Amino acid sequence: GLQDAWFTAPAEIPVGLFFPGFTQDDANPDIGDSTITETAGIGAFAMAAAPAIVKFVGGTPAMALESTLEMYEITVAENPAFGIPQLDFRGTPTGIDIRKVVRTGITPRVNTGIAHRKAGIGQVGAGLVRPPMACFEQAVEAMASTLR
């Protein structure tokens, strides 16, 4: 593995639903731990099992199913602890494979709280975002260099 290596790129701005009085213009680029939780097969990876959350982040039930199915394309396992009724209790997609991300061009989907762009205001909504492809490309390059 790559031990404690981190790969960074400018964060994307989430798109979603905003609390009254706030708009997309108030959104900060994505920060926080939501992206990390996706690796365990929860959040956007499990949206097919969470119709209430789907509406909260500005999606639709059809989009939720599509989201979960798409994440199977870039993961290496299924988490049996999180069976999805709509998919005959198939486990949520788990374990992002950096090679699959780069090969398919599909980056993980992330359910996230949307923070205000000005410090101190806090959360102004909830939505969806994808991490930058550059992070995965850097990780693949670093992994390849360990094999040379």
The pTM for the full model equals 0.91
What is the number of domains present in the chain? 1
Could you tell me if residue 8 is inside a domain?
no
Query: Can you give the pLDDT at residue 36?
Result: 84
Range of the domain at 46: 31-146
Could you tell me if residue 15 is inside a domain?
no
Give the percent of the chain with pLDDT over 70. Answer: 100
Could you tell me if residue 65 is inside a domain?
yes
Report residue 126: phi and psi, to 5°.
-145, 150
18-69 per-position pLDDT tens digit: 999 999 999 999 988 888 888 888 889 999 998 888 888 888 999 999 999 9
63-78 per-position pLDDT tens digit: 999 999 999 999 999 9
Could you tell me if residue 73 is inside a domain?
yes
Please state whether 139 falls in left (phi above 0), alpha (psi between -120 and 50) or beta.
Answer: alpha
Could you tell me if residue 78 is inside a domain?
yes
Q: CATH code at 99?
A: 3.90.1700.10
